[in-house]
């Protein structure tokens, strides 16, 4: 059986950083798609007692513009895995589908931006900063 392709988008409160987690066997393919789309990124090493995922850090302004810049890379990456079961997660929300779906990619990237905004607002509250 083919491994399910899992993508997780983890926007952080830091506006210059976001993470994409991917099933390990798909990491090189995703990195190639990011490079082809000129998306600055690097491999991130993390230790965990839980599920093993490959982490890629995305540099730049982690805003709606950055998520939109990721769209062509993700569409190219997912179109190469058209027949596989794909799960995309953002925070606690996920969508699972078989085959490539541009609509699902766009929806989940929008959710990633919403989550980034909420996390940034929460961090400002913690720091005692006014909105």
Q: What is residue 114's predicted lDDT score, i.e. its pLDDT?
A: 78
Report the distance separating Cα 58 and Cα 69, nearest Å.
Answer: 11
Q: What is the pLDDT of residues 33-75, one digit of tens each?
A: 888 888 878 777 665 555 677 777 776 655 666 667 777 888 8
Percent of the chain's residues with pLDDT above 70? 78
Residue 95's DSSP bridge partners are: 88
Residue 131 pLDDT > 70, yes or no? no
Length of the chain: 131
Q: What is the pLDDT of residues 109-124, one digit of tens each?
A: 777 777 777 777 877 8
Report the distance separating Cα 7 and Cα 89, nearest Å.
Answer: 6
Beta strand 41-44 pairing with 17-22? unpaired
Residues 6 or more apart whose CB falls under 8 angstroms from that of 126 comprise none
Closest CA to 19 of 103, 119, 95, 104: 119
Report the distance separating Cα 123 and Cα 110, nearest Å.
Answer: 20
């Amino acid at each position: 059986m083919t491994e399910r392709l899992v993508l997780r988008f983890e926007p952080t409160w830091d506006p210059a950083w976001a993470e994409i987690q991917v099933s390990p066997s798909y990491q090189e393919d995703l990195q190639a798609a990011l490079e082809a789309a000129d998306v600055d990124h690097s491999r991130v090493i993390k230790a965990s007692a839980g599920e093993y995922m490959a982490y890629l850090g995305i540099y730049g302004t982690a805003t709606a513009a950055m998520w939109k810049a990721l769209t062509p890379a993700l569409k190219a990456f997912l179109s190469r895995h058209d027949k596989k079961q794909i799960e995309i997660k953002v925070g606690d929300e996920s969508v699972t589908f078989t085959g490539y779906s541009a609509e699902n990619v766009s929806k989940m990237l929008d959710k990633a931006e919403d989550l980034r905004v909420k996390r940034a607002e929460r961090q400002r509250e913690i720091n005692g900063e006014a909105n």
